[in-house]
Amino acid sequence: MKGMRRVFLTILLLLCSNLVITPVSAQNPVPGISIDCDPKDVSIDIQPGSSRTYSIICTAENPSIFAEEVRIETSVSENVISITSPSSITVPANGDVDFTLTFKANQGLSPTTTYSWNVTATVTTANGITMPDAIAPSDNDGGDVFIRAYARMSISMSTMTRYLSAGETANATIEISNDGNGAAKMGCTYAAEAVAVGEKTHELIFDSNSHYENVEPNSGYTLSFNFTSPSPGDVAVFEIIIQCNIFEDDEYQIEEFKVEVEAAKGGGLSSLGNSLGVDDSTMMMVGGVGVGIVALLVVMFIGLKIKSNKRRDSNADDWDDEIFEEEDDEFDFDDL
DSSP 263: P
Q: Count CB neighbours of 58 within 10 A.
A: 22
Task: Give the integer Cα–Cα distance in Å for 171 and 175.
Answer: 14
The amino acid occupying position 102 is: T
Read off the pTM: 0.64
| Radius of gyration in angstroms for the set of CA atoms belonging to the chain, rounded to a whole number | 46
The pLDDT value given to residue 3: 53
pLDDT of residue 85: 97
Q: Are 185 and 281 in contact (CB under 8 A)?
A: no
- What is the CATH superfamily name and number for domain 2-147? Immunoglobulins (2.60.40.10)
CA distance linking residue 242 with residue 156, whole number of Å: 12
Write down the pLDDT at residue 264: 75
Q: Taking the domains of the chain in order of start, what are their residue ranges?
A: 2-147, 153-261, 269-335
Binned average pLDDT, 10 residues per bin, the chain of 336 residues: 49 49 57 96 95 98 96 96 97 97 95 96 95 93 96 88 90 94 94 91 94 95 94 91 88 81 56 36 33 32 37 45 45 46
153-261: CATH architecture: Sandwich (2.60)
Contact 134, 98 (CB under 8 A): no
Q: Report the alpha-carbon distance of residue 96 to residue 67 in Å, rounded.
A: 11
**Confidence (pLDDT) at 271:** 34
User: For residues 159 and 259, is the Cβ–Cβ distance under 8 A?
Assistant: no
65 closest CA partner among 116, 130, 21, 11: 21
Handedness of CA 129, 130, 133, 139 (dihedral sign): positive
User: Is 131 strand, coil or helix?
Assistant: coil
Alpha helices in the chain (DSSP H): 2-21, 269-276, 280-289, 291-314, 319-330
Whether 237 contacts 228, CB under 8 Å: no
Do the domains spanning 2-147 and 153-261 agree at the CATH topology level? yes
Give the number of other Cβ atoms within 10 Å of residue 42's Cβ: 23
